[in-house]
């Protein structure tokens, strides 16, 4: 085990290397840092002294300690951390991460402390297999207000992740050999989870109106499931058009098929009004809605949920009895308080404002470097159009410490669509955006960026 001062020094180094702390940025005083992190001032002084000795930071007398002007983002980032993620430190452009600096940790700590102090012995029992009722009620209220989804707490099942949600859905509803339409390109990490349940993945092309339902029916008429991200397609960012939403609901009603609506980041939309979720139009009761707090709060909370059609609650409960909710009761109840006391709303509002700015910073900085950025309505990532082999470009960017992903790596068939996927949530200043865009440009050579859109 490292000494505490070494852990702090390592954390600061990573923040500097990732660009979160830019060159010239002022560090908090050792007294403030010590108070915020619950360590002694001497420990912080020791960590700062080590960083000074190694050239990461400089002391400027009364003015305080500053990140050295000579360091640049990614300068000393160990390449292995891109894949191993041992340090929990976000890498520049890392996909799927919300802004970790914006979460109100002190408030969260107070809410959890209060819950802990007022626990009774009954809170030590196993809890409901579908999750704490208080949290399920808070989610019901949130969904009604923000997504026009009308449901009851019985229809909600709390899970530890999207993968667990998918597992519960398929173990309840699927039979081995069933087929599932999936978006191509689409979120790759869920595919092995689906395949493990012996459900066949049937790729369907995505165009500017989202998943192409006509193509899906023509290519794979035998499907029983469809999985999609209608609010904001992952990763292209398009919305499923209203006619296609109707078409899909019709298909499900006639075919007795199931629609899995992955609404992973619909909270983040910067222009226009969102279309109604499929679940809010679900007269035939064929939609299972999947939500997560990974994007709206933070991934370490490891809490998601599904909303299941009322006639199938009993079947889902029978499955959930075999795989009860694994999110600790204390976390669930803290989360319920966070939502019902209005903090969730305030946090989302704050995130939306910051994200709009961070997105603009990155978009502008990328365009200044000659990159072509495809327009998106919302979400937390951008797609840069390229014509060269995007996997090679992404590999070069990764070597430079930038966690860029290739669009073609998200495709099942063809892979003719090329682009680079970048997430902007942890870019905390215009300067940081400029430094990172320049670094990306240098890493992959600007000559390879083009002016053709990724949607072509």
Ligand X SMILES: Cc1ncc(COP(=O)(O)O)c(C=O)c1O
Query: Site mask, ligand X, residues 203-242, x = CB under 6 A?
Result: --------------------------x----x--------
Query: Is 268 near ligand X (CB under 6 A)?
Result: no
**Stretch of residues binding ligand X (CB under 6 A), selected from 46-54, 138-146, 291-299, 414-422:** 291-299
Measured from the CB atom, the residue of 21 and 235 that comes closer to ligand X is 235
In the bound state with ligand X, the residue whose beta carbon lies nearer, of 172 and 294, is 294
Residues 6 or more apart from 3 whose CB is under 8 A from it? Answer: none
- The dihedral through the CA atoms of 314, 320, 321, 326 has a sign that is negative
Question: Which residue, among 240, 244, 221, has the nearest Cα to 231 in the 3D structure?
Answer: 240
Q: Is 294 in the site for ligand X (CB under 6 A)?
A: yes
Q: What is the dihedral of CA 375, 376, 381, 385, to 10 degrees?
A: -30
Residues 344-383 that bind ligand X (CB under 6 A): none
Binding range to ligand X, per CB under 6 A, among 1-9, 160-168, 195-203, 242-250: 160-168
CB-count exposure of residue 109 (10 Å: 0-12, 13-18, 19+): exposed
Among 33, 48, 93, 162, binds ligand X (CB under 6 A): 162
φ, ψ dihedrals at 38, nearest 5°: 65, 40
Q: Determine how many CB atoms are found less than 10 A away from the CB of residue 272.
A: 9
Residues 140, 167 contacting (CB under 8 angstroms): no
Select 46 or 147, whichever has its Cβ closest to ligand X: 147
Q: Among the candidate windows 159-167, 171-179, 368-376, 427-435, which touches ligand X by CB under 6 A?
A: 159-167
Residue corresponding to tokens 């949290």: 135
Residues 166, 308 contacting (CB under 8 angstroms): no
Of 96, 98, 179, 230, the one binding ligand X (CB under 6 A) is 96
CA proximity to 229, closest of 258, 206, 255, 249: 206
Of 107, 129, 163, 219, the one binding ligand X by CB under 6 A: 163
Phi, psi of 204 (to 5 degrees): -125, 130
Could you say whether residue 187 binds ligand X (CB under 6 A)?
A: yes
Alpha carbon 89 to its chain centroid, in Å, reads 15
Q: Based on the shown chain and the rule CB under 6 A, indicate whether residue 188 belongs to the binding site for ligand X.
A: no
Continuous segment of H or E residues that includes residue 245: helix 242-255
What's phi and psi for 295, nearest 5 deg?
A: -95, -35
Nearest approach, Cβ of residue 77 and ligand X (Å):
22
Q: Which of 205, 276, 299, 452 binds ligand X (CB under 6 A)?
A: 299
Shortest Å, Cβ 289 to ligand X: 12
161 part of the interface to ligand X, by CB under 6 A: yes
DSSP 243: H
Binding mask 55-94 for ligand X (x = CB under 6 A): ----------------------------------------
Q: Name every residue whose Cβ is closer than 8 Å to that of residue 444 and which is 6 or more positions away in sequence.
A: 393, 396, 397, 420
**Shortest distance in whole angstroms from residue 170 CB to ligand X:** 15
Q: Among 108, 225, 264, 355, which residue sits at the site for ligand X (rule: CB under 6 A)? A: 264
Binding of ligand X by 185 (CB under 6 A): no
Task: For residue 185, say if its preceding peptide bond is cis, omega within 30 degrees of 0.
Answer: yes
Among 184, 262, 390, 434, binds ligand X (CB under 6 A): 262
Q: Which tokens in the block code for residue 367?
A: 């365009």
Query: For ligand X, which stretch binds (CB under 6 A), given 110-118, 161-169, 216-224, 236-244?
Result: 161-169
Residues that bind ligand X (CB under 6 A): 96, 161-163, 187, 229, 234, 262, 264, 292, 294, 299, 304
């Amino acid at each position: 085990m490292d000494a505490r001062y070494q852990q702090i020094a390592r954390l600061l180094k990573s923040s500097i290397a990732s660009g979160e702390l830019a060159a010239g940025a002022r560090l908090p005083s050792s007294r403030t840092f010590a108070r915020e992190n619950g360590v002694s001032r001497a420990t912080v002084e020791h960590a700062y002294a080590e960083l000074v000795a190694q050239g990461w930071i400089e002391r400027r007398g009364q003015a305080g300690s500053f990140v050295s002007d000579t360091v640049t983002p990614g300068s000393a980032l160990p390449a292995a951390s891109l894949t191993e993620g041992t340090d929990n430190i976000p890498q520049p452009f890392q996909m799927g991460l919300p802004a970790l600096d914006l979460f109100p940790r002190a408030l969260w700590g107070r809410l959890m402390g209060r819950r802990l102090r007022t626990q009774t012995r009954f809170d030590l029992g196993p809890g409901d297999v579908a999750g704490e009722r208080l949290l399920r009620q808070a989610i019901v209220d949130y969904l009604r207000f923000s997504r026009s989804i009308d449901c009851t707490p019985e229809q909600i099942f709390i899970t530890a992740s999207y993968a667990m949600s998918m597992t519960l859905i398929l173990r309840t509803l699927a039979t081995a050999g069933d087929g599932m339409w999936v978006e191509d390109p689409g979120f790759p990490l869920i595919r092995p989870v689906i395949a493990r349940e012996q459900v066949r993945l049937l790729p369907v092309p995505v165009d500017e109106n989202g998943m192409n339902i006509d193509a899906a029916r023509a290519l794979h008429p035998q499907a029983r499931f469809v999985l999609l991200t209608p609010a904001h397609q992952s990763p292209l960012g398009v919305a499923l058009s209203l006619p296609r939403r109707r078409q899909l609901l019709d298909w499900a009603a006639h075919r007795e098929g199931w629609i899995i609506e992955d609404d992973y980041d619909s909270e983040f939309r910067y222009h226009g009004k969102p279309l109604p979720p499929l679940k809010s139009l679900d007269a035939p009761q064929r939609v299972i809605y999947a939500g997560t707090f990974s994007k709206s709060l933070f991934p370490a909370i490891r809490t998601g949920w599904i909303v299941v059609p009322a006639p199938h609650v009993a079947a889902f409960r029978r499955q959930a009895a075999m795989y009860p909710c694994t999110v600790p009761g204390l976390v669930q109840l803290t989360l319920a308080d966070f939502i019902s006391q209005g903090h969730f709303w305030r946090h989302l509002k704050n995130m939306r404002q910051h994200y709009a700015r961070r997105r603009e910073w990155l978009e502008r900085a990328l365009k200044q470097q000659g990159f072509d950025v495809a327009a998106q309505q919302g979400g937390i990532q951008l797609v840069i159009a390229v014509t060269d082999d995007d996997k090679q470009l992404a590999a070069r960017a990764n070597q430079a410490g930038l966690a860029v992903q290739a669009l073609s790596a998200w495709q099942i068939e063809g892979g003719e669509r090329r682009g680079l996927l970048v997430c902007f949530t942890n870019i905390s200043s215009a300067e940081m955006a400029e430094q990172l865009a320049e670094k990306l440009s240098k890493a992959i050579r600007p000559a390879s960026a083009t002016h053709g859109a990724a949607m072509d």
